[in-house]
Amino acid sequence: MEKNSQAVFPNHQHSRGKAWRWTLWSVLLAAAVLIGVLQILVARAGPILKGRVVETLKTRFDSKVELDRLQVSILQGLNVTGGGLRIYPPDDVMAAGAKAPLISVDAFEFHAGLLGLVFKPMHVGAVHVRGLAIHIPPRKMRQQGAAKPRHLGKVKIEVDEIVCDDSQLVIGTDKPDKDPKLFELKHIVLRDVGPNAPWPYDAVLTNAVPKGDIHAAGSFGPWNTESPGDSSVMGDYRFDHADLNTIKGIGGILHSTGHFEGQLDRIAVQGTADVPDFSLDTANHPMYLKTEFSAVVDGTSGDTYLQPVQARLGESDFTCSGAVVNVKGKGHIIDLDVDVPAARIQDFLQLSVKTEPAVMSGVITTKTKLHIRPGPESVTQKLSLKGGFVLKRIHFTNPEVEDKVDMLSLRAEGNPKDAKPGAPDVHSLMTGQFEMSGGKLNFSNLNYTLPGASVALAGVYSLDGQQFEFTGKVRTQAKLSQMVASKWKSLLLKPVDPFFHKDGAGAVIPVKISGTKSAPKFGLNLGGKKPDQASR
C-alpha cells in the first residue's frame, strides 16, 4: 500500500506543474495579444478621434472645420490633446467678406474611458481649452447667408463641460467709423453643452477701463448657427474693486452689480454702481457717488445707450440719459442730458473745485448737456457742459464775502446805517446760462437778485481756483446818495445821482469782481471793461 501511494504522488505533482506552465503561457499570450490590441488602438485612436471631433463640430456648426493636430495617450484611460482648431462661418458669409474663423482654439485637452472608442456617442466629462477666440462677422455679412436646410450628421461626442482660459469674443461691425467690440474672457466654464438648449456658464471677464474683473453667471444660447450675433445671452454680474484711476482725471474704486439679457448684438443691462470715494483731479475731494441704471449695449458697435441713470452725489439726486459712442481708433464720445431738479450746489462744488470749503451753499436746479470728447487728456480737460440753472437760498461760506453781500442789500434798500459786518443774512437768487470747457466756467448771462438790488454779470470762473473774473451792472432800489451813512457824503453824491439814475432804478452801477474764488475783490468798472479785457 505504501509503495502504491509513493508511485501516485510523483505523477500528481507532475500534472500540477504542467498546469501552472500552461497557465503562465496563457497569461503571457493574452498579454501579448492585449499589447498588440493596445498598439492597434493607439495607432488608430488618433485618426478615429480626430474624425469624431471634426464630424461633431461640422454637425454642430454646419460649416467647414479644420484641426491641425491631435495626440492620444492610453496610459490612464484615454487622454486626448490637440490644437489648431478652426471653425469657419458658412460659405455664403465667407463669400460676403468674412475672413477670420468663426471659432479658433489654440489648444484643448480631454479625458475619456477606453470604451469610448467602441461606443457612440463618446461621453466626455470636461474639455479644457486655451486660447479660444470667437469672431462674429458684421450683421450685413451674416445676412448674406441665405437660410438653407442643414445637413446634419451624427453627434459622435457628448461633452458635459467646457473650461476655457485666456479667451476672447470679438463682435465685428460694418460701420467704418467703429472698431470691433472686444471682450476679454479670463476664465469661462460652459456646462451641458448641447445643440438645442441654453448652456449654463460661469465666467470672469477682464475689463481694461476701468481696470478690474467682472464675474458673470447665467446661460448662453442656444448657438444660432446662421447668425451667431443673434445668439441669446443672460445672466447676473458683479464688478468689484474696479480702479477708476485708470481713467485719467477721475479716481475711486467702483463696485457694481446687475442683470443683463438679450442677444450678443444687443444686450439690455440693469444694475447699480457705487463709488464711495469718487473724485475729480480739479479738486481731489472724494465724494460718495451711487447710481441705478438701465442701459442697452450694442455689440456691433460697442455703443452704450443709458435710459436713464438715477444718481446721487453726496446728498444730491439727479438723472442723466444719453450715449457712450465708440469712435474708431480714438476711444469714446460721451453725450448726456443731465437733469438736476433740486440739489445742493455745495456737493457739486466740493467735487469739482479746489476751494475748501465750497465757496457757497444753496439749492440748484439745472438741465445741462454734458459732452466728453475722446483723447488722452484728463477727463476734466475733455469735459464740456452747456445749460442753464437756477440757484436759490445762496449763502457764501466766506464770512467776508457774505457780509459784503448782506451790506450791499441793505445799502441798496436805502438802509446804509444798518450795513455793518455781521448783518443778518439775506435770501438771494441766481440764474444764468453757462458753458464749461477746458476747466473753466464761462457765464454769458448771470443774474443775481437780492433784496434791494439785482446784479447782471458775465465772466469766467475757473475750477482750479486761479481765475475769478466778472463784470456787469448792479441795479439798486436806492439812489447813490441814499446808500451812504454819512450825511456829508450823501450831500456830495446828490449831484451825481442823475448820472446813475437810469431805467427806473435808483442807480445802475458798473462793477467788476476779480481775484480768486476764496478771496474775490469787488470794485467799480467805470471804464466798462469786459472780463477778457480786465484780465489783460
Shared domain check, 418 and 276: no
Shared domain check, 94 and 198: yes
DSSP string for residues in 335-359: EEEEEEEEEEHHHHHHHH---SS-S
Shared domain check, 99 and 198: yes
Least confident range from 116-120, 178-182, 406-410, 478-482: namely 116-120
Shared domain check, 217 and 90: yes
Instruction: Compute the mean pLDDT over every residue in the chain, rounded to the nearest whole number.
Output: 81
pLDDT number for residue 13 = 57
| Residue with more model confidence, 13 or 509 | 509
Ramachandran category for residue 528: left, alpha or beta (phi over 0 → left; psi -120 to 50 → alpha):
left
pLDDT of residue 154 exceeding 60, the answer is no
How do residues 278-292 score in pLDDT, each as one tens digit?
998 888 889 999 999
Q: Which residue has the cell 505504501?
A: 2
Shared domain check, 421 and 314: no
Helix (H, G, I), strand (E, B) or coil at 366: strand
> What's the number of domains the chain is made of?
2
361/182 Cα distance (integer angstroms): 45
pLDDT of residue 300 exceeding 50, the answer is yes
pLDDT, average across residues 430-445: 87
pLDDT number for residue 156 = 60
Last residue of a domain, one of 294, 320, 346: 320
Instruction: Establish if 3 belongs to a structural domain.
Output: no
Q: Is the preceding omega at residue 357 within 30 degrees of 0, hence cis?
A: yes
Shared domain check, 114 and 263: yes
Instruction: Establish if 137 belongs to a structural domain.
Output: yes
How do residues 233-245 score in pLDDT, each as one tens digit?
899 999 988 888 8
Instruction: Establish if 333 belongs to a structural domain.
Output: no
Instruction: Establish if 103 belongs to a structural domain.
Output: yes
pLDDT of residue 3 exceeding 60, the answer is no
299/257 Cα distance (integer angstroms): 20
pLDDT, average across residues 55-60: 78
pLDDT number for residue 208 = 77
Last residue of a domain, one of 304, 320, 336: 320
Shared domain check, 405 and 278: no
Shared domain check, 410 and 289: no
pLDDT band at 10 (very low <50, low <70, confident <90, very high): low
How do residues 362-399 score in pLDDT, each as one tens digit?
999 999 999 999 888 888 888 899 999 999 999 988 88
R_g over Cα of the chain: 39
**What is the per-residue burial (b if ≥16 Cβ within 10 Å, else e) of 205-230?**
beeeebebbbbbebbbbebebbbbbb
pLDDT band at 445 (very low <50, low <70, confident <90, very high): confident
Q: Using a CB cutoff of 8 Å and minimum separation of 24, what contacts does 224-227 make?
A: 225/60, 225/61, 225/62, 225/63, 225/90, 225/150, 226/90, 226/142, 226/145, 226/147, 227/139, 227/142, 227/143, 227/145
Shared domain check, 123 and 249: yes
Least confident range from 5-9, 300-304, 438-442, 459-463: namely 5-9
Shared domain check, 302 and 407: no
pLDDT number for residue 533 = 45
pLDDT number for residue 194 = 65
Instruction: Establish if 276 belongs to a structural domain.
Output: yes
Instruction: Establish if 481 belongs to a structural domain.
Output: yes
Last residue of a domain, one of 278, 303, 320: 320
Shared domain check, 408 and 314: no
pLDDT number for residue 344 = 95
CB 289 within 8 A of CB 252: yes
Instruction: Establish if 362 belongs to a structural domain.
Output: no
Instruction: Establish if 285 belongs to a structural domain.
Output: yes
The residue range of the domain holding 434 is 398-534
Q: Which residue has the cell 450675433?
A: 229
pLDDT of residue 112 exceeding 70, the answer is yes
Shared domain check, 242 and 96: yes
